[in-house]
Chains A and B, each alone.
Chain A
Amino acid sequence: MPHAIKRLFCIGLLSFTPLIHAAEYLSGPADYIYSPIVEEGEREIDTKFGTQSPRNGDTTRQSGASIGFGYGVNSWWFTEIYGKAIWDGNTSQFDAVEWENKFQLTETGKYPVDIGFLIELERPQNRNEGYEAKYGFLLQSEWKKWQANLNLLMQGHYTGTENQGTYLGYQGQLKYRLQPEFEVGAQIYSWLGQVNSWNTDQQQQSSVGPAIFGKTKLGRKEAIKYNVAYLWGTTAASPRNTIRMQAEYEF
């Protein structure tokens, strides 16, 4: 079967899962920027952590973390399973199990923009939320030592009774590839509101700020990759600030 047909089949199969609806739309503190590039055979243990300070005068930080295992099944499909936890002040709880699938749709570097498609399914611990799905296009371009990402995403909850609606957002990243161990850039995470009813500018959620990235080799086919960002909320509905970080052990 040609690769393009296999890709469409996998995407189609996963796309049917979330046809019934429901959702919360806030960027989680441990969110990260997706890349459309898939590395075949790559195995990784992926940990993420984030904490954000609310804007409404509440001093209790909201934090989240996840740990997952990912695998590059072939040159165009990467899949990863996560467990996620959240805590708020003294209360912590297991939050969800998540299954991320990323499909690289174009050959690396063939066109000015590399394109991928993301389908992420989540089963929240709060069963009233049903299932959560996030899906959308992942775009990446490079110029000399610069790399830019723009991801157009939709997120919704399905089959549950809480957090109805499908939300539209985007995330972006600009990175300067200074050296393998240390790269600098910036990230933005933004949710515009429900697909059929965008929020006013100040009710949209948007956080932007500087980020650093890097990769250190530990041995043959073993490496640690990291990225850290400090984000400021730019609207009244956004968290005041967010610190987020990701560390991956590749083997």
Chain B
Amino acid sequence: MILINNQSKYMKNHLLSLLFAVPTLFMGTLSYASPTATEIYISIKKGRFSPSEIEIPADTKVKLTIENFDDTPEEFESYDLNREVLINPGSKASFYIGPLSAGNYKFEGEFSPETAQGIVRVK
């Protein structure tokens, strides 16, 4: 019985170590395991995305880099893509989307939704 308890405790301690080691190891290896993703550049000028339509292949991860040339902040927002990212005036922000199924995924600028509209076409 004592042996079983000790074994149980031993296993739990190892599981505990594992729980916290996994994310740590994952982060530690990020720099060595960085995936290469296609990068697409979008600019914001006068409250509009350019290009406002982008086409990407299905089941592929893509890096979007958005540069805001306006003197007011803009937020890239897309429920379809599950992304909300602030882009400060005169700066840029990057994030990844996908892998996505074929279809159309809308996005907009939250601060100027009347003009800042766009779509990601996945084929």
Interface residues of A (CB under 8 A from B): 39-42, 72, 75, 105-111, 113, 115, 136-137, 139, 142, 144, 147, 152, 168, 170, 177, 180, 195-198, 220-221
Residues of A within 8 A of B13 (CB): 196
**Cα–Cα distance between A235 and B108 once the two chains are bound (Å):** 46
Task: State whether the Cβ of B53 lies closer than 8 Å to any Cβ in chain A.
Answer: no
- Contact in complex: B86, A40 (CB < 8 Å): yes
Name 14 A/B residue pairs within 8 A (Cβ), A-sorted.
A40-B85, A40-B86, A41-B86, A105-B27, A107-B95, A108-B83, A110-B96, A111-B30, A111-B35, A137-B24, A152-B23, A177-B79, A180-B79, A220-B111
The 7 closest A-B pairs by CB, nearest first: A109-B96, A137-B23, A40-B86, A41-B86, A108-B95, A110-B96, A198-B12
The secondary-structure label for the interface of chain B is mixed
Which of A75, A110, A144, A197 sits near B93, CB closer than 8 Å? A75
- Contact in complex: A39, B23 (CB < 8 Å): no
Residues of B within 8 A of A220 (CB): 110-111, 113
- Contact in complex: B95, A109 (CB < 8 Å): yes
Task: State whether the Cβ of B75 lies closer than 8 Å to any Cβ in chain A.
Answer: yes
> A169: shortest Cβ distance to chain B, in Å?
10
- Contact in complex: A197, B9 (CB < 8 Å): yes
**Cα–Cα distance between A39 and B110 once the two chains are bound (Å):** 13
Residues of B within 8 A of A105 (CB): 27
**Cα–Cα distance between A222 and B20 once the two chains are bound (Å):** 37
Residues of B within 8 A of A136 (CB): 20
Task: State whether the Cβ of B70 lies closer than 8 Å to any Cβ in chain A.
Answer: no
> A182: shortest Cβ distance to chain B, in Å?
12
**Cα–Cα distance between A152 and B19 once the two chains are bound (Å):** 7
- Contact in complex: B23, A221 (CB < 8 Å): no
For the side of the interface on B, what is the size category?
35 or more
- Contact in complex: B35, A110 (CB < 8 Å): yes
**Cα–Cα distance between A39 and B93 once the two chains are bound (Å):** 12
- Contact in complex: B73, A41 (CB < 8 Å): yes
Residues of A within 8 A of B111 (CB): 220-221
A144-B101, A168-B16 as given contacts; A109 in contact with B86, CB under 8 Å? no
Residues of A within 8 A of B94 (CB): 107
- Contact in complex: B26, A115 (CB < 8 Å): yes
- Contact in complex: A139, B23 (CB < 8 Å): yes
- Contact in complex: B16, A177 (CB < 8 Å): no
Task: State whether the Cβ of B6 lies closer than 8 Å to any Cβ in chain A.
Answer: no
- Contact in complex: A109, B83 (CB < 8 Å): yes
> A34: shortest Cβ distance to chain B, in Å?
14
> A93: shortest Cβ distance to chain B, in Å?
34
**Cα–Cα distance between A152 and B20 once the two chains are bound (Å):** 7
A107-B94, A108-B95, A108-B96 as given contacts; A115 in contact with B82, CB under 8 Å? no
Residues of A within 8 A of B12 (CB): 198
A109-B95, A152-B20, A220-B113 as given contacts; A39 in contact with B84, CB under 8 Å? yes
